[in-house]
Structure 1
Amino acid sequence: MPTLPTPSAPPLDLLTTIRERRTVDLSALKPDSISRPVLEGLLEAANWAPSHGQTEPWRFVVFTGVGRAILARTLATSQALLKGQTEPDPEVLRAQLARQQLAPVWVMVAAEPSEKPRMPLHEEQWAVACAVQNLMLAARSQGIGSKWISNPPSLHPNTAASLGFAEGASMMGMLYLGYVQPGPADWPAGKRRPVSEKVRWIEDEPGL
């Protein structure tokens, strides 16, 4: 079974990892590649997400190196189809190819229910969202930034079909991954409103 490689820096405790997971802009990423063992470890973390009925519906396609051009062409074609065109505009394709080069790793995400689904689609999608969160938290523990994108081209049926997802798959967008520049000390800061503003406590039955 794949395991998470040992980080080069001391590992973060779980709550710190959760607090420090950030959406990282493409401009903040290093071009450095992420090794296959590290990526396999992140996917292994995703694979341990909960799923109702143990359906494990998460599916991923990982693009690195020159493989990113395949994703770029697929997304450009899906963008054209959204506009009622059959072929991507050359300028759009060039822009998409350049964009895919800004992160060393891209991951397409889908929920693939079984041929005879045991659970409603929304529960399968929730399970995939848990898998993606696992992956992003594991990435943070390795000093890797991430962002989850769900724009129209990434959700288009052409994208699903072109990338080999099963018929009936529900596209869940895509992630990019990359080490943050210039280093771990420059990790993007986050901010949240107090959790007390978002929680109500019910501890006693009224009137008793």
Structure 2
Amino acid sequence: MELIDLIKSRRSIGAVEERDVPDEVIKELLTAATWAPNHKKTEPWKFRVVKGEGRNKLGEEMSRIMEAKTKGLSKEDAQKKIEKARKGPLRAPAIIIMAASPTGKVPEIEEIVATGCALQNLLLLATEKGLATIARTGEIAYATELNKYLQLDENDKIIALVYVGYPKQDFSIKAERVPAEEKTVWFR
């Protein structure tokens, strides 16, 4: 497949089988991520891979964090958020958590963008390998308590929880984009 076709065909797909994604495949995805461009070669990305029983443990921690954040809500609304946080990590057999770790050598935005490039590399390779992925965040991703649980530094920024698995079915999701010409101004 041509690279442009791969880029155009990549979609966020959350409906996955429970079948394990082999560690070797995850390692390939992580290697692709590390080849992202980054200013001054800071390599600002960090990865946390969660599989197996680790998903349940992560869900328990996420629900504990969410419980503390729902103090002003009705009991029913709070319980919905807590359960959603608990079940979130069970959406896929593997989760790759990607964080930007600002080095101070370049503006923080450049570190976040570089980590976004790493994310794109990972997503594209996963698509090429026939995997389904969906990158998510939500308020839990910005909780400093989650950084602590994941052994990330306090200033690290989680940019995505990437759910990885084998698709439950063949997805041919069509998408449209505004042509680049409509968003481009040329200066000559």
TM-score when normalising by structure 1: 0.79
Matched AA of 2:50 = F
- Please list every run of 5 or more consecutive structure 1 residues that lacks an aligned counterpart in the other structure: 1-11, 204-208
Aligned partner of 1:4 in structure 2 is none
2:101 paired residue among 100, 112, 118: 112
Aligned partner of 1:198 in structure 2 is 183
Contact 2:17 2:168 in 1 (8 A): yes
Contact 2:62 2:86 in 1 (8 A): no
1:82 to 2:76 alignment: no
Give the Cα–Cα distance (whole angstroms) in 1 for the partners of residues 114 and 168 of structure 2: 32
Aligned partner of 1:145 in structure 2 is 132
- Please list every run of 5 or more consecutive structure 2 residues that lacks an aligned counterpart in the other structure: 73-77
Give the Cα–Cα distance (whole angstroms) in 1 for the partners of residues 82 and 65 of structure 2: 11
**What are the superposed Cα offsets for residues 14-72 of structure 1, whole Å, 9 maximum, x if unpaired?**
11110111111x3x222221111111000000000111110001001011111111221
> How much identity, in percent, do the aligned residues show?
28
User: What is the CA-CA distance between 1:75 and the residue it aligns to?
Assistant: 1.7
Aligned partner of 1:17 in structure 2 is 6
Aligned partner of 1:6 in structure 2 is none
The count of aligned residue pairs is 183
- Counterparts in 2 of 1:193 and 1:90: CA distance versus 1, 3 Å: closer
Give the Cα–Cα distance (whole angstroms) in 1 for the partners of residues 119 and 99 of structure 2: 10
Structure 1 or 2, whichever has the larger Rg, is 1
Give the Cα–Cα distance (whole angstroms) in 2 for the partners of residues 92 and 61 of structure 1: 23
Q: Which runs of 4+ in 1 moved over 4 A?
A: 89-95
1:188 to 2:188 alignment: no
Aligned partner of 2:25 in structure 1 is 38
Aligned partner of 1:103 in structure 2 is 92
Contact 2:144 2:154 in 1 (8 A): no
- Counterparts in 2 of 1:92 and 1:62: CA distance versus 1, 3 Å: same
1:167 paired residue among 123, 147, 154: 154
**What are the superposed Cα offsets for residues 158-188 of structure 1, whole Å, 9 maximum, x if unpaired?**
00011101232122231111221223xx333
TM-score when normalising by structure 2: 0.87
Question: CA-atom RMSD, angstroms?
Answer: 2.0
Secondary structure, in 3 states, of the residue corresponding to 1:101?
helix
Contact 2:99 2:160 in 1 (8 A): yes
Secondary structure, in 3 states, of the residue corresponding to 1:62?
strand
